[in-house]
Chains A and B, each alone.
Chain A
Amino acid sequence: MHPQSNDSYQLRSGTSISPLQDEAFHNLLNELLQQLPAKFMMLVDVAGQVLVAKGEHSNVNLVMLGSLVAGDLAASQEIARLTNEYQDYQIVLREGEESHTFIAESGNYLALFVQVGHEVPLGWARMLITKASQQLEEIMQENEPSQEEVAGFELEMATTLEEADDDLSDLFGDALDDMWMD
Chain B
Amino acid sequence: MRINWQLRRLNLKIVYYGPALSGKTTNLEQIHLSVDPKRRSDLVSLKTHEDRTLYFDFLQLELGKLAGLTPQIQLYTVPGQAYYEASRRIVLRGADGVVFVADSDVRRMRANLVAWRNMREHLQSFGIDMDKFPVVLQFNKRDLPTAVPAATMSKLLRLNGQPLFNAIAFKGKGVLPTLKAITKSVVGQVQKELA
Contact = CB atoms under 8 A, between A and B. Distances in A.
Q: Do A and B come from one complex?
A: yes
Interface of A: 3, 7-19, 22-23, 45-49, 51, 61, 63-64, 67-68, 71, 74-75, 78, 82, 145, 149, 153-154, 156-158, 160-161, 164, 168-173, 175-182
B151 interface: no
Nearest to A75: B90
Contact of A176 (B2, B63, B93, B123): B63
B94 A47 contact: yes
Please report whether the interface of chain B is mostly helix, strand, loop or mixed according to DSSP.
mixed
A46 B35 CA distance: 25
B119 to A, nearest CB: 12
Interface stretch (B20-28, B38-46, B160-168): B38-46
Given A18-B6, A179-B39, 8 more contacts: A8-B127, A11-B127, A19-B6, A67-B76, A74-B91, A156-B68, A168-B190, A169-B183
Interface residues of B, number: 60
A160 B68 contact: yes
B176 A12 contact: no
B126 A22 contact: no
B41 A10 contact: no
B13 interface: yes
